[in-house]
Structures are given as C-alpha cells and as structure tokens.
Amino acid sequence: MKGVLSRIGIGSATVDTILPTDTVRAGDSVRAEVHVEGGTTDQEVDAVYFALETEYKSDEGSKDAIIDQWQLTEPFTIEAGEERRFETTIDVPRETPVTTRSTAVEIETGLDISMAVDPGDADYVEVEPTRRTQAVFDALASLGFSLHASSCAATAGSLFTTSTTFVQEFEFRPENGEFAGEVDEVEVVPVFGDDGLAVYVEVDRSAGLLSEVTDADERHTKLTVDAADPEAVEPRLAAAIRDLR
C-alpha cells in the first residue's frame, strides 16, 4: 500500500534546493546544495533535474518559458527515510530576464520517478542584469533616466535576430538632465549573441520595439556594448537618443 500511495505523491521522496543567496546575476554561477529525503518506501529516482523558468507575453497570452534545464544525477535508489545531499553549480544564462515587479524567475528542482508524481521544489530568485547590461542602465541613470517598466515578449515577427523565444524590454523615462522635457520615453532591449551584447534603442514610439516588423518605423538603432563601462556607453547612448528624438 505504501508503494501505491507514493506513486500518487503520498509518502513519496521529497527534494529541496538550498541556495546561499536569493539574488543572482545573469551570466554568473551560484553554488547550491540539493537535499533529497526518502519517503515511506524505497523509490527508484531516474534523475534529479533543474529548470530555470519565467513567463513571457505572446499573441496567445502568457506562456511559460524554460530558460535552461539540466540533469544533476544518474539514476539511484532513495531508501525509505534516507537523506542524501548533492552539491552543484547553477549557471545562470546571460539571457535570463532581470526580475522586476512584472517579471519573475524561479529555479525548479524535481525528482524524475517513473510511474509516479514527480516531487518538486520551486525557489524564486532575484536576477540582476549582466555587467554589460548594468553598464547601459548606469549610463541611462547618468543621463537622467529612471526605469519605469519592463516586460518579456515573444520575438516572433519582431526586429530581433536571436535564438531565444522572447526578449525583455525596459522602458526608461527622463527625470532630469538634457532629455527631461525633450523625450517622453526611451525603450531598450538587450539581445545577446556570439559577438556579445547588442542593445536596441528607440525613443517615444507608442508601438514599442516589440511590435511587429510591419509596424516598425526607422526610429530605432542598435548599439554594440563591448565592455561593462558606463562611461564608454554614455556618450554613444546620448548621441543615439539625440538622433532618434
């Protein structure tokens, strides 16, 4: 009877991932410890697996997105009441969205158990931008802009050439400086590729950079960011905004 119950999740093994911090940076790695505790009966675990997940908007509504997924272990048996611990390194891809009020990212840990409900654990993490993306944000702050909103949306039919199914757009508004009273909003979309970071920039267009190509006008440009140096990015960004306003 215990074996039957464990197949529907009652008395089954459990898994818990312990992170040293709930804040990570896109493009960096973080150490983690995985605790697996046996249930009321022995169970065959095919694998301990991870998935890094978020959501994005599409024409069909909100969709779940797996940013990355990987397997931690080979098959093993977890005996009733047994405790096992595994150490691992979680690599956070550059493309991982920055967490904001509208964007959440979670690390899901699961046990792959045949013919049973897979036990799982979900940990929400705060994701900081890559250092190059942060340089863009810092440059915008120096120019008097502050972040107003952000969203993740599907790339299908958009301006971007990327292998990912979605990108994240950030909307900044000027509070002081040269562009206060001159532009309403600057939208930026970081896109990562083999050559590094490309940042698409647009000023004031209501449709936004995530609109379809058929709706796009010429009021956008693209900057390549080679290093995490806000002082190098700022004059180029300022020049682009002047040209686009």
Map 208-224 to HEC letters. CCCCCHHHCCCCEEEEE
What is the Cα–Cα distance from 119 to 45, expressed in whole angstroms? 10
User: Residues with Cβ < 8 Å from 70, sequence gap 6 or more?
Assistant: 49, 50
DSSP SS3 for 162: coil
pLDDT at position 17: 93
Assigned CATH for 12-128: 2.60.40.640
Q: Where are the domains of the chain?
A: 12-128, 131-244
Q: Are 158 and 178 in contact (CB under 8 A)?
A: no
pLDDT at position 59: 82
pLDDT at position 161: 57
pLDDT at position 13: 87
What is the Cα–Cα distance from 112 to 46, expressed in whole angstroms? 5
Pairing between strand 120-128 and 23-25? parallel
Helix (H) or strand (E) segment spanning residue 64: strand 61-71
Quickly tell me which residue has 């931690």 as its tokens: 72
Burial class (CB in 10 A: 0-12, 13-18, 19+), 192: buried
Q: Are 137 and 147 in contact (CB under 8 A)?
A: yes
Q: Are 42 and 81 in contact (CB under 8 A)?
A: no
Give the number of other CB atoms < 10 A from CB of residue 51.
17
184: left (phi over 0), alpha (psi -120 to 50) or beta: alpha
Q: How far is CA 41 from the centre of its chain?
A: 37
What is the Cα–Cα distance from 225 to 35, expressed in whole angstroms? 40
SS3 content of the chain, % helix, strand, coil (to 5): 15, 45, 40
How many CA atoms lie within 13 Å of 29's alpha carbon, on the beta-carbon side? 5
Among 63, 78, 242, CA closest to 155: 63
What is the Cα–Cα distance from 147 to 139, expressed in whole angstroms? 12
pLDDT at position 2: 38
Per-run averaged pLDDT (10 residues), the chain, 245 residues = 38 86 94 91 90 90 91 92 94 94 92 70 94 97 96 73 80 93 92 86 64 52 92 96 89
How many CA atoms lie within 13 Å of 126's alpha carbon, on the beta-carbon side? 7
